[in-house]
Chains A and B, each alone.
Chain A
Amino acid sequence: MIDVIIGLAPAMAAAGYYFRMHALILIAACVISCVAAEWLCNLIRKKPNSLDDFSAVVTGIILALSLPPSLPVWAAIIGSFFSITIGKMVFGGLGSNIFNPAMVGRTFLTVSFGVLMTSWTVPASIDPAMPAVAQENILDTRTQATPLAWSKLAIKNELGADIYSEKQFKATFTGEVGGCLGETSVIALLIGGLYLLIRRTINFHIPLAVLSATFVFAGIAYLIDSFAYVQPFFHLTSGGLLLCAFFIATDPVTAPLTRKGMWVFGIGVGVITMLIRIVGEYPEGVMFSVLLMNALTPLIDRFFKRIPAGGSPSI
């Protein structure tokens, strides 16, 4: 768990750089309320304290990194409490939860405070006042909404999806775009993900499956109609996809155990994400796709059982 926190550190630093105090306050609020929620749950359930596994801290950080920077602190606290109590502790604590707690909390916030959860501000490095991104800005490459919301709007307004330029690619890479706290900077997420891979905290199957499925799906869509669908690279670098691929989908508790199962899980996450992004009404679908595949994890595990060396015994 400590490794995951270290892996998330670059993304947190990027969030702090682009969204200044907002980011730090949100992260702190989420972590503290997640820890408090777990402590309270253990107190009520008369169970031994389980804070020393740091899983509540990880949940808090991931939740915070998937929140929009302008979200009020009280909403973040509500989300954190929901994450830990309903997302994790009612199932019996760490290791027993079906759904990724952070994503449970984020879903709760999205359906409860829809407007707050989709109000984006520009990074402070562009404008220290961090004004909310308005829809008129869609053609300005400096002050933009989240790249995905923006591309969706562009397509809706029949401006064409061919909005992808070198400048924007660079912006999504460094993180100088609107979006959730931790998902804007591709570099920070890649460094963190690489760290986890090197430390073998996660293995490469799920990230690779998620990213390649997304890429292939987006590539096919782009090849069919390059006016209506944006470039596949754009889908890889924008939105919560990288955060999901390296930190959320790889949560071992809610992902399958077997190699084959991991591939199926990752491809499922990628495909559902792209379906929501391309066909659905939401600009971003990572959250729902992870939760949907989490729900399928027990089935996947049952379906892709390991075959013992030498073949299945005939019972």
Chain B
Amino acid sequence: MNVSSRGRFTFSGGVHPPENKSLTCESQIQPGPEVKQVAVMLSQHIGAVCRPLIRKGDAVQAGQKIGDSDAFVSAPVHSPINGKVKEIALRSHAVLGRSLAIVIETDDEGPAKRPSFQVPADFDVSKYSAEQICEVVRKGGLVGMGGAGFPTRVKIEQDPRIPKDALIINGCECEPYITCDYRIMLEWTSQIIAGIKLAGKASGCSKVFIGIEDNKPQAIEIMSAALRDSGDADGIIAVPVKTKYPQGGERQLIKAILKKNVPPGGIPPMIGVVVLNVATTAAIAEAVVSNLPLTHRVVSVTGEAIAKPGNYYVPIGTSVEDLLEFCGLAPQKSAKVILGGPMMGIAIADLKTPITKTTNAVTVLMKEQIGSAKFARRQTPCIRCGRCLQACPENLNPTKIAHAVKNNLLDVAERYNIGTCIECGCCSYVCPANIEVTGYIKTGKIFLARQKQKMPR
């Protein structure tokens, strides 16, 4: 496995959307806007919603825990700034609609925080025990920062029933436009490697792979060089994987690197694999070494309608509005603001929506860009051309599921395994009839969850 093995590691299905990463890929990670107010969501992860630990009017310190839950699958939230709790109120959430958030007004006027963490020279992974790492990871409120937000502690904690043996670090960043993970790999290389070692220690994995798409040769080169320099190249291997969307989906990445399938509806630990995003590993290093909780993250603010696109280090809870204002949004040019990238991201209707731990990008699309799909061409009937079947990385029958949902036949949708859809959007992307296949499937999943009363109405 070396850099020359281009394109050998891949999965079946997938699409090749235009990458558009050149807007921000040269932009160094820089501090974001000086925020006056943040709204920290009490639910930023998969699992139980936190309950607030403070009251309106309380003074909070940066890094103070302000919300927690007793549930196993959950992660606490922390205040990113010093200030006073203005209110605990509903804010827009990309997935949950309206959700409770703790609104904090800052009182210090200092400049925005810079990414300051450095791995100390005497860093040694053997100083920490696995339990200790897991405990700090839980206390630091770490969740998967690639998108889903699964609590990291639950992922990496050792389970005697299913021993974990492979740790995959996800540096694919297959989604168009987004470059935050790429910049983290270039700039925070030693921090990532420290985090990988800690995660490997905590999970007990013997094999560690860093999957990076082969359209980022510089990242592969820098990671490999850093691993050689630190003498870890034997245990940790940087694997160039084929550039294809959704290569960064954890099921696809496991398939590409280990040639294994995660059982449908299952999670990677069931086959002894842990997948962590590079941003998450960087946060693990910060949490374990400096005992700092997850309060800031790197967000790509990108799109042709942005005057200063780039990668910004912002406090979690910053509103999208503040961020876009800071980056110079041209409102007359923009038509859609998306949390995440254009393929899997969620368009938001409220610019006051705060950044959460899982927000890796704010993408602003212009009307012309979404024009051909939404405004100019109308949706035509499905002619069963089967392109969605070929593009589906999970080997599903998207059109069948979508039309079952459309006709309210949820049992049929379940028979065609609606639950195993990873919502990557490839089917909508290839559909020549402009049918929002993924949209129907997502709707169907919500209907099913409501039927089974897993989700509030």
Contacts of A313 in B (CB 8 A): 263-265, 417, 419-420
| Binary per-residue interface labels of chain A (286-315) against chain B in the complex, 1 for a CB within 8 Å, 0 otherwise | 000000000000000100011111111101
Nearest CB of chain B from residue A210's CB, rounded to whole Å: 17
Nearest CB of chain A from residue B205's CB, rounded to whole Å: 21
Cα distance A252–B385 in the bound complex, in angstroms: 5
Nearest CB of chain B from residue A237's CB, rounded to whole Å: 29
Which B374-402 residues have C-beta < 8 A from chain A? 380-386, 389, 393-397, 399-400
Q: Is the CB of A95 within 8 A of B382?
A: yes
Contacts of A155 in B (CB 8 A): none
Q: Is the CB of A305 within 8 A of B383?
A: no
Cα distance A217–B399 in the bound complex, in angstroms: 34
Q: Is the CB of A306 within 8 A of B389?
A: yes
The reply on B447 being an interface residue by CB < 8 A is no
Cα distance A310–B255 in the bound complex, in angstroms: 10
Which B259-280 residues have C-beta < 8 A from chain A? 261-266
Nearest CB of chain B from residue A205's CB, rounded to whole Å: 10
Contacts of A315 in B (CB 8 A): 414-415
Nearest CB of chain B from residue A261's CB, rounded to whole Å: 10
The reply on A94 being an interface residue by CB < 8 A is yes
Nearest CB of chain A from residue B395's CB, rounded to whole Å: 5
Counting chain B residues whose Cβ lies within 8 A of the other chain, the interface size class is 20 to 34
Which B349-389 residues have C-beta < 8 A from chain A? 380-386, 389
Q: Is the CB of A310 within 8 A of B384?
A: no
Contacts of A203 in B (CB 8 A): 386
A309 touches which of B251, B386, B400 (Cβ 8 Å): B251
Cα distance A94–B11 in the bound complex, in angstroms: 34
Nearest CB of chain B from residue A11's CB, rounded to whole Å: 21
Looking at B11, B384, B394, B415, the one whose CB has the most chain A CB atoms below 10 A away is B384
Cα distance A287–B404 in the bound complex, in angstroms: 31
A95 touches which of B251, B384, B397 (Cβ 8 Å): B384
Contacts of A252 in B (CB 8 A): 383-386
Contacts of B420 in A (CB 8 A): 308-310, 313
Cα distance A311–B255 in the bound complex, in angstroms: 13
Contact of A257 with B384 at beta-carbon distance under 8 Å, contacts A306-B396, A312-B417 already known: yes
Contact of A253 with B397 at beta-carbon distance under 8 Å, contacts A308-B417, A308-B420 already known: no
Looking at A53, A94, A307, A309, the one whose CB has the most chain B CB atoms below 10 A away is A309
Q: Is the CB of A305 within 8 A of B255?
A: no
Cα distance A307–B420 in the bound complex, in angstroms: 11
Nearest CB of chain B from residue A225's CB, rounded to whole Å: 40
Contact of A309 with B261 at beta-carbon distance under 8 Å, contacts A93-B381, A94-B381, A257-B384 already known: yes
Nearest CB of chain B from residue A8's CB, rounded to whole Å: 17
Cα distance A94–B399 in the bound complex, in angstroms: 15
Q: Is the CB of B383 within 8 A of A308?
A: no
Q: Is the CB of A310 within 8 A of B264?
A: yes
The reply on A96 being an interface residue by CB < 8 A is yes
Contacts of B255 in A (CB 8 A): 309
Looking at A96, A306, A311, the one whose CB has the most chain B CB atoms below 10 A away is A306
The reply on A258 being an interface residue by CB < 8 A is yes
Contacts of B380 in A (CB 8 A): 53, 94
Contacts of B264 in A (CB 8 A): 308-313
| Binary per-residue interface labels of chain B (6-47) against chain A in the complex, 1 for a CB within 8 Å, 0 otherwise | 000001100000000000000000000000000000000000
Which B417-434 residues have C-beta < 8 A from chain A? 417, 419-420
Contacts of A95 in B (CB 8 A): 381-384
Cα distance A255–B385 in the bound complex, in angstroms: 9
Q: Is the CB of B416 within 8 A of A305?
A: yes
Contacts of A55 in B (CB 8 A): 383
Which B398-454 residues have C-beta < 8 A from chain A? 399-400, 414-417, 419-420
Q: Is the CB of B383 within 8 A of A253?
A: yes
Q: Is the CB of A258 within 8 A of B262?
A: no
Cα distance A96–B383 in the bound complex, in angstroms: 8
Cα distance A93–B11 in the bound complex, in angstroms: 37
Cα distance A55–B385 in the bound complex, in angstroms: 14
Q: Is the CB of B386 within 8 A of A257?
A: yes
Nearest CB of chain A from residue B372's CB, rounded to whole Å: 16
Contact of A257 with B400 at beta-carbon distance under 8 Å, contacts A308-B420, A309-B255 already known: yes
| Binary per-residue interface labels of chain A (125-151) against chain B in the complex, 1 for a CB within 8 Å, 0 otherwise | 000000000000000000000000000
Nearest CB of chain A from residue B440's CB, rounded to whole Å: 15
Nearest CB of chain A from residue B336's CB, rounded to whole Å: 26
Cα distance A312–B396 in the bound complex, in angstroms: 11
Nearest CB of chain B from residue A250's CB, rounded to whole Å: 10
Contact of A309 with B394 at beta-carbon distance under 8 Å, contacts A94-B383, A257-B384 already known: yes
A257 and chain B: residue at smallest CB distance: B386
Which B327-347 residues have C-beta < 8 A from chain A? none
Contact of A311 with B261 at beta-carbon distance under 8 Å, contacts A94-B381, A95-B383, A252-B386 already known: yes
Nearest CB of chain A from residue B402's CB, rounded to whole Å: 12
Q: Is the CB of B383 within 8 A of A309?
A: no
Contacts of B394 in A (CB 8 A): 308-309
Cα distance A255–B383 in the bound complex, in angstroms: 10
Cα distance A308–B266 in the bound complex, in angstroms: 12
Cα distance A255–B262 in the bound complex, in angstroms: 31
A313 and chain B: residue at smallest CB distance: B264
Cα distance A53–B432 in the bound complex, in angstroms: 11
| Binary per-residue interface labels of chain B (99-139) against chain A in the complex, 1 for a CB within 8 Å, 0 otherwise | 00000000000000000000000000000000000000000
Contacts of B263 in A (CB 8 A): 310-311, 313
Contacts of B262 in A (CB 8 A): 310
Cα distance A203–B251 in the bound complex, in angstroms: 28
Contact of A309 with B393 at beta-carbon distance under 8 Å, contacts A95-B383, A252-B384, A257-B386 already known: yes
Which A43-94 residues have C-beta < 8 A from chain B? 53, 55, 93-94
Nearest CB of chain A from residue B453's CB, rounded to whole Å: 18
Q: Is the CB of B389 within 8 A of A257?
A: yes
Contacts of A306 in B (CB 8 A): 389, 395-397
Q: Is the CB of B384 within 8 A of A307?
A: no
Nearest CB of chain A from residue B63's CB, rounded to whole Å: 41
Q: Is the CB of B384 within 8 A of A309?
A: no
B255 and chain A: residue at smallest CB distance: A309
Nearest CB of chain B from residue A252's CB, rounded to whole Å: 5
Contacts of B265 in A (CB 8 A): 313
List 6 extra interface pairs beyond A53-B380, A306-B395, CB under 8 A.
Answer: A95-B383, A252-B385, A255-B384, A257-B400, A310-B264, A315-B414
User: Can you name 5 A-B pairs with beta carbons within 8 Å?
Assistant: A257-B384, A257-B386, A257-B399, A301-B400, A308-B420
- Which 6 pairs across A and B sit closest by C-beta, in order of nearness? A310-B261, A95-B381, A313-B264, A252-B385, A308-B420, A308-B264
